């Protein structure tokens, strides 16, 4: 398990754009499970949508990407992991994105990502997001780890 303090040591993101709360399972080089507790206190709900809060799909995809970033960094060798403060993960593409059900305040959004391909600094991941075991979104993500 990786808690929020450890996530912040890995990712450069901070509130209000740090979109994972905890990693519950990780198999280095293979897969990760992480979650975000979606609350009415999220700033995004001020405008999306007043009186009918829906967590934006773009935020779900970004949360998937952040979980994928943790997986990529934790899958690097020990020396490279020590240099994570000098690295950042860039999106290269988002493909096959589908949104199947709305996510609302009170939901626990669980991200499950699997490595489809990994070569050098390039990672291709299949990401799926669930609420109460119901698939709410999915996408294929391609990212690259680069120097800042």
Supply the residues annotated as catalytic: 48
The span from the CA of 24 to the CA of 12, in Å, is 20
Asked if residues 70 and 111 have their Cβ atoms less than 8 Å apart, the reply is no
Cα-Cα-Cα-Cα dihedral sign, residues 114, 85, 44, 23: positive
The span from the CA of 47 to the CA of 90, in Å, is 27
The span from the CA of 138 to the CA of 70, in Å, is 18
Q: Where are the alpha helices (DSSP H) in 11-148?
A: 57-75, 78-82
């Amino acid at each position: 398990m990786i808690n929020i303090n450890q996530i912040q040591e890995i990712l450069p993101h901070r509130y209000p754009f740090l979109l994972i709360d905890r990693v519950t399972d990780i198999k280095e080089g293979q897969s990760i499970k992480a979650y975000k507790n979606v609350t009415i206190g999220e700033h995004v709900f001020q405008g999306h949508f007043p009186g009918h809060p829906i967590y934006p799909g773009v935020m779900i995809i970004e949360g998937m990407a952040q979980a994928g970033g943790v997986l990529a960094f934790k899958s690097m060798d020990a020396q490279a992991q020590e240099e994570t403060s000098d690295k950042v993960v860039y999106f290269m593409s988002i493909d096959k994105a589908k949104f199947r059900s709305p996510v609302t305040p009170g939901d626990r959004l669980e991200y499950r990502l699997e490595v489809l391909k990994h070569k050098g600094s390039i990672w291709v991941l299949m990401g799926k997001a669930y609420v109460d075991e119901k698939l709410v979104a999915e996408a294929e993500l391609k990212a690259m780890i680069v120097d800042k």
